[in-house]
Structure 1
Amino acid sequence: MNSNIYKKKTPIFVFLIPAFIFMTIFLYYPFIRNIVNSFQSITGLGTAAKGFNEPWYANYKTMIEDPNMRIAIKNTIIMIIATLVGQVGMALLLALLVDNIGRGKKFFQTVYFLPIVISATALGLLFNLIFLYDKGMLNQFLEILGFSGLIDWKDQHHAMMTLLIPVMWQYVGFYFVILITGLNTISEELYEAAVVDGATKLQQVFYISIPLLRNVVCTCIILAVTGALKVFDLPWIMFPKGMPVNSTFLTGTYMYYQTFNSNNVDYGSAIAVVIVVLGIILSKVANKLFKEKDY
């Protein structure tokens, strides 16, 4: 029997209109306004635009010539690669391991998810203490092991590694929960049939778990790629203003620096537009490369 719930369209529009108005005011209008701002001259927050730039694409031309923007894009690409390998890859490994243990699943799920619920500001301050040059926990541990000389973990040679470690550590649990949920949806009958056919645990992982997780992994990859483009809070706490020597700027932190520290609101708007464009392009590429399949 067909349902009559959708025959009357009026109640549907009544509930959709408030949500549409809310999104228009707080999402669509600011986004369009930001695009317009990127072509105008705005020298401070809350100040009116002085008109359109001459030429109108001046901010985008400046961006091409800006060495800090090139550093930000290079670091963001490194962040994307590290995210795919260190977050999604590690989360997949942990999910497969936890799914194959008999006891303690809830314990490990809680432990791995815990960093997500901790404030990024608190984590940034915590890792600042760990990586301190003098009396930092890591340098003290190296001294105990007999290494001579302190390492400045925030100099230009170690800065990106110092930044990547806490970012990867924080978000592994996020993808872990998604992947472990995907594993829980796989029918136990498939594993039972594989056992009857003599398949080992490793064969079950490679021929059942991973293939049936493909669509979930695709979703994680797209989230990781787009998330790496806009990561901001933890890197900014650890390396405000891109220090040292602007070597740790990411697209998100550089946009914030230009907008709030340098008062180049129009330039910051242009960077924001580029972040959105890069996000769309990279998500489309990832979607094509890891196209979801029907099983």
Structure 2
Amino acid sequence: MESNIYRNKKPLFVFLIPAFIFMVIFLYYPFVKNILNSFQNISSLGAASKGWNDPWYTNYVKMFNDPNMRTAILNTIIMMLVTIVGQVGIAVALALMVDNIKKGAKFFRTVFFFPIVISATALGLMFNLIFLYDKGMVNQLLEFLGKGTLTDWKDTAHALVIMLLPVMWQYVGFYFVILITGLNNIPEELYESASIDGATRWQRIRYITLPMLRNVICTCVVLAVTGALKVFDLPWVMFPKGMPLGKTWLTGTYMYYQAFNTKNVDYSSAIAVVIVVLGIVTSKIVNKVFKEADY
């Protein structure tokens, strides 16, 4: 005899009301308010709006003419590509290698995941010390090897690469754990059958592992691409205010700079709207390109 709790759905709505109220207050209202702020004239944080801009789309026109915004979007696109290759790609390679070893698998899983638990601020400071002009670890190593004079690694030529390295390194472990979980869900019988048929290890990876991991890889790629739009803390610690010469701006860091440094709140709100639009568009494109397969 079935319990009435499975037939009567009305109590479910009572339990959903607190979560719905929470989402309205802390998600939907700020999102709608931010869109409205992007069309208004707001002089500083906490200040009331002075009215609608004239014309109302002033901030969006300003973005098209803002060289720093163009730099931020270009750098963010570069970061998206780097996350696909440098985070998801390396995570796939590491997951396949760890899955094929018999001893020490737990050790490598812990080591690869460890950067995730470190604060991004601490990582930024650590990489700043590594690439210091005078006594950084890289320059001391070059000096020890007799490879010429010390180099300012955070100059304009190297700044973007220096910023991308720690971001890529930190999140490889995150996708590594997701992929390892996907590998554990592949039936062992498939590998046994392939071995009986004479398949080599590479053939088992190519025709069994990678196709069976396709949906997991697609999920990782979507997370990596959308996550690149929200990167803020680590790049800001390493290159505050887009230094040097404003060449390291990302959409997230430039939005923060406009809101908290120049107090240009309405322009910052417009940048936030663009970030949301870019996130929706890129996620749709990625879902089309890396379309999940039905098995």
Q: Under a length normalisation based on structure 2, what TM-score does the superposition of the two structures give?
A: 0.98
| Alpha-carbon separation, structure 2, partners of 1:92 and 1:2 | 46
2:181 is equivalent to residue 181 of structure 1:
yes
2:237 is equivalent to residue 263 of structure 1:
no
* Matched AA of 1:168: M
**CA offsets per residue over residues 231-267 of structure 1, 9 Å max, x none?**
0000000000000001000000000000000000000
SS at match of 2:6: coil
- The 1:205/1:2 distance shift into structure 2, 3 A limit, reads farther
* Matched AA of 1:62: K
Give the equivalent residue in structure 2 for 1:26: 26
Give the equivalent residue in structure 1 for 2:88: 88
Give the equivalent residue in structure 2 for 1:130: 130
Give the equivalent residue in structure 2 for 1:274: 274
Deviation at 1:6, TM superposition (A): 3.5
Deviation at 1:3, TM superposition (A): 7.6
| Alpha-carbon separation, structure 1, partners of 2:151 and 2:269 | 38
| Superposition pairs of residues 183-262 of structure 1, within 5 angstroms | 183-262=183-262
SS at match of 1:230: coil
2:161 is equivalent to residue 161 of structure 1:
yes
| Alpha-carbon separation, structure 2, partners of 1:259 and 1:153 | 29
| Alpha-carbon separation, structure 2, partners of 1:15 and 1:178 | 31
Structure 2, unaligned runs of 5 or more? none
* Matched AA of 2:253: T
Give the equivalent residue in structure 1 for 2:150: 150
CA RMSD for the aligned pairs?
1.1
| Superposition pairs of residues 89-128 of structure 1, within 5 angstroms | 89-128=89-128
Give the equivalent residue in structure 2 for 1:17: 17
Deviation at 1:145, TM superposition (A): 1.6
**CA offsets per residue over residues 113-165 of structure 1, 9 Å max, x none?**
00000000000100000010010001111111211111111111000000010
Runs of 4+ that moved beyond 6 A: none
| Alpha-carbon separation, structure 2, partners of 1:99 and 1:2 | 45
- Quick one: percent identity of the two aligned structures? 72
| Alpha-carbon separation, structure 2, partners of 1:217 and 1:150 | 41
- The 1:50/1:142 distance shift into structure 2, 3 A limit, reads same
Structure 1, unaligned runs of 5 or more? none
Between Structure 1 and Structure 2, how many residues are aligned? Answer: 295
| Alpha-carbon separation, structure 2, partners of 1:110 and 1:231 | 24
Deviation at 1:2, TM superposition (A): 7.5
